[in-house]
Structures are given as C-alpha cells and as structure tokens.
A = this chain, B = another copy of it.
Amino acid sequence: MRAEIISIGTEILLADIQDTNSRFIASNLPALGIDLYYMHQIGDNLGRLQELIATAMDRSDLVLCTGGLGPTEDDITREAIAAAVGEEPTIVPELEANLRAFFKRRGYPMPEKNVKQATVIPSGEAIPNPRGTAPGWWVEKDGTILVAMPGPPAEMTGMWDNEVAPRLRERSTGTIIVSRTLKTIGIGEGTVDDTVGPLLTSTNPTIGVYAKRDGVHLRVTAKANTKAEASALIQPAEDRIRELFGSAVWGADDDTLQASVGALLKQQGLTIAVMESCTGGLLASTLTDVPGSSEYFKGGLVTYSEATKRQYGVPAHVIEQYGVVSEETAAAMATAVRSELGADIGVGVTGVAGPDPHGGQPVGTTIIALESPAGTASANYVFAQTREVIKARAVTTALLLVRRAALGELSP
C-alpha cells in the first residue's frame, strides 16, 4: 500500500509551528506494511489543497491528511476533499447532535459556524474524536482511501491509535517492514559504502548508509509477512556487517555512543576522569548523560585558562615549550587529571573552538589525548565549523578513543 501524508496549515509554512504530525504518522506506517512515498505541508488555500489531494488520490492507495478540520473559514480541508472527489458535504443529524452535546457539556452554546464539523460526503464516514469538536473523515473512492484527522497533536494521535491504525491494519496487504540500524565509528561514509559494496544492491533487505554526528549508520530494512520473518531476513545482513566492520560497530538502533562506552567501562571495571579546555565541560556532561555513570566517572575539570591547567598538574614548562594547543599539553592534561582524580583512564582535550585562532593554531584545531594503564592514544585534526559542531565532534572523537582503550586496542 503506497501512502502520502498531507499536513495542512499556513502556520506551518510560516514556520510558526514545526509539523510533528507527519513524523508521528510516518513512524507508525512501516509496522503496518504501508510504504510512504511523500509528505507535504500546504497552506489554507482551497484551490491548491484540492489539486494536491486529487493528485495524491490518483497516484497513491492511501492519503493521510491532518489539520484544517476546525470551524473557521480558514479550515478548508473538508471543502477541498469534497471538491477533489466531486461530491457535496451534507450535515449528518447524528453528528450535529453529538457536537451540540459536546458544547453543552462544556457549558457553551455551539457557535453556528461549527455545524460544518458535522458534515460528511457520500463516499465518506465520520471518525469519532472524543478529544475535540472535529470528527475525522474516512473516505473511499475509486480504490483509494483518504483519511482526514484534526491538526492538534493530542487529538490526532488519539484518533490514530484508537481508530485509524486498527482499520488500516485490517486493510493493508500484510507485508510489514522492520528496520535495524547498526552504528559504526572511525570509518568515513565513502569507505563504509565501498566496504558493504554488493550488499547495497540487495532489495530485501535493503541497506542504507547514513553519515551522522556519532559516526556512519547502516540501516537494514526488511519486508515480510511477520516480524519474525523480517528479523530472519535482517539477521544475515547484520552478521555480515558486523563481520566486515568488527569493533567499529559500537551499537544498534537507539543506543548512544556514551551509553555504549559507559557499558564497556563498567564491564572492564575501568574508571575515567577528564580535563577539558575547548569542549568546556561537554565531554563530562555527555559521559554523565548516561544513568549510572557515577560508577565509572570520577570527575571532570574544565580548565579554560593556562593558570587552571597548571593548578591541576599540567607542568608549566610543557605549556611554555609546546604551546597550550599541542599534543604534549593534551597528553599532560590526561596524565594530570588521571592522577588528580585517581582514575584508570585520563582524557585531555585542548583546541580552538573559535571564533579566533589561539596558541598559534587555527579555529577548529582539536587535540585529544588519552592515558591508561594499557597505553595511550591521541587524535589531532582541524575541523573548521561552528563552535557547537567543533565541540560535539571533539566529544565524539574523545569517546572513540575511550572506547578503544576499554576494548584493549591500545598498545603501551
């Protein structure tokens, strides 16, 4: 079943609100065996909406609309659907009675313009909306299903869960889609692509490669009649990916890098402490985003000045000789914080977050050093970006080094 989603409301086009309804609906379609081909956001314009609905009904099996079911003149979804299918909305006495009762319960008389919320077209029927005044519409015409739901997220999700999803589950072909995301780090997108090579031509499961802030993700997606069958299709591809990328695969689905690194540290019985300059505390904050991180996180020192670095054990002569943004200073920071806080692993981060060059190094220079009983590691790169992105990338790189240390991949 091919679907498209239409979110209706000029406030979306004016960027007054983010359209979150589309993503909610989209996230629920794969498990129903429905393929989503398009999402659209359109304003409260009768002609354009009518045309888009007609096009969508013509090319898709299922059209899911949200918004524009209110009582005001701006709310034109019912009119647009009626025009698209060439029918006239008429008042349904039962709906009108429900509507009047709804207002009565709230202690208001019903404004007369609300009566349009009690209309429906011959090809359609109303979908109950216990959370608001606007019933939805379920329309079937020439083999296409069109569903119109209200825009307020609480009303829409309630109607989806209680009415729309159950009916679609009965109607859809039975083929469902299950996805599994494997997350790698330390390998570029192009290299991942080249390495998975022939797997990319597979049609079931399909494999997609996506560059993300925490590394490159591979998404394996299978279609099958049951969840178990889909999982059976995914498993060999997952095994092959794990074989190809080995320990570069750090997690799956909703795992975060910090949680994965934290679990490794806990498993190995290792503790960690960090001394940060350019990341300004973001590495410590990210490590402690993990519930239970107090078991392995000994503490963090944000040494934003040379004086503070010296205060916590970075030798003045190292800073003088090599500069504050240098491999040597980063290594001395790792050594110092490890000793200062009595941790197994010490990490030092120094660099230039911008906006101006510092210590003779350009903006984006990041130097990370790690010291542990099993050996040392470091990373050194220039990534000229915004301050926020420079910091985030430094944290990801630091976590990558910590991961290697916890995996025992370092040599002394």
Chain A interface (Cβ < 8 Å from any Cβ of B)? 10-16, 18-20, 22-24, 26-27, 30, 36-45, 48, 52, 70-74, 105-108, 111, 113-114, 130-131, 152, 154, 158, 179, 181, 188-191, 193-194, 200, 208-211, 219, 221, 276, 279-285, 287-289, 291-294, 297-305, 308, 311, 341, 353-356, 381-382, 384-389, 391
> A135 to nearest B CB, angstroms?
16
| Nearest 3 A/B pairs, CB to CB | A280-B288, A281-B284, A281-B281
> A329 to nearest B CB, angstroms?
16
Q: Are A26 and B14 in contact (CB under 8 A)?
A: yes
Picked from B48, B114, B131, B276, the residue with its CB within 8 Å of the CB of A385 is B131
Q: Given the complex of chains A and B, what is the CA–CA distance between A181 and B388 in angstroms?
A: 23
Q: Chain copies in the assembly?
A: 2
- Contacts A289-B280, A304-B297 given: A13-B40 contact, CB under 8 Å? no
Q: Are A13 and B39 in contact (CB under 8 A)?
A: yes
> A227 to nearest B CB, angstroms?
17
> A248 to nearest B CB, angstroms?
16
Q: Are A39 and B36 in contact (CB under 8 A)?
A: no
Taking CB atoms, residues of chain B closer than 8 Å to A45 are 37
Taking CB atoms, residues of chain B closer than 8 Å to A219 are 11, 14, 16
Q: Are B388 and A308 in contact (CB under 8 A)?
A: no
Q: Are B308 and A190 in contact (CB under 8 A)?
A: no
Closest residue on chain B to residue A130 by CB atoms = B384
> A207 to nearest B CB, angstroms?
10
Taking CB atoms, residues of chain B closer than 8 Å to A37 are 13, 42-43, 45, 48
Q: Are A41 and B70 in contact (CB under 8 A)?
A: no
Taking CB atoms, residues of chain B closer than 8 Å to A301 are 299-302
Q: Are A281 and B302 in contact (CB under 8 A)?
A: yes
- Contacts A10-B208, A208-B74 given: A387-B291 contact, CB under 8 Å? yes
> A347 to nearest B CB, angstroms?
13
Closest residue on chain B to residue A221 by CB atoms = B14
Q: Are B41 and A39 in contact (CB under 8 A)?
A: yes
Known A70-B189, A113-B190, A302-B302; further 7 A-B contacts with Cβ < 8 A: A14-B179, A18-B18, A71-B189, A72-B193, A113-B194, A131-B385, A299-B301
Q: Given the complex of chains A and B, what is the CA–CA distance between A26 and B382 in angstroms?
A: 32
Q: Are A389 and B70 in contact (CB under 8 A)?
A: no
Taking CB atoms, residues of chain B closer than 8 Å to A26 are 12-15
Q: Are A194 and B298 in contact (CB under 8 A)?
A: no
Interface centre among A284, A355, A391 (most CB of B within 10 A): A284
Q: Given the complex of chains A and B, what is the CA–CA distance between A386 and B154 in angstroms?
A: 8
- Contacts A20-B18, A299-B301 given: A13-B41 contact, CB under 8 Å? no
Q: Given the complex of chains A and B, what is the CA–CA distance between A313 and B355 in angstroms?
A: 34
Q: Are A108 and B387 in contact (CB under 8 A)?
A: no
Interface centre among A18, A211, A288, A385 (most CB of B within 10 A): A288
Taking CB atoms, residues of chain B closer than 8 Å to A341 are 308, 311
Interface centre among A181, A304, A341, A381 (most CB of B within 10 A): A304
- Contacts A13-B37, A38-B41, A288-B281 given: A209-B305 contact, CB under 8 Å? no
Q: Are A189 and B13 in contact (CB under 8 A)?
A: no
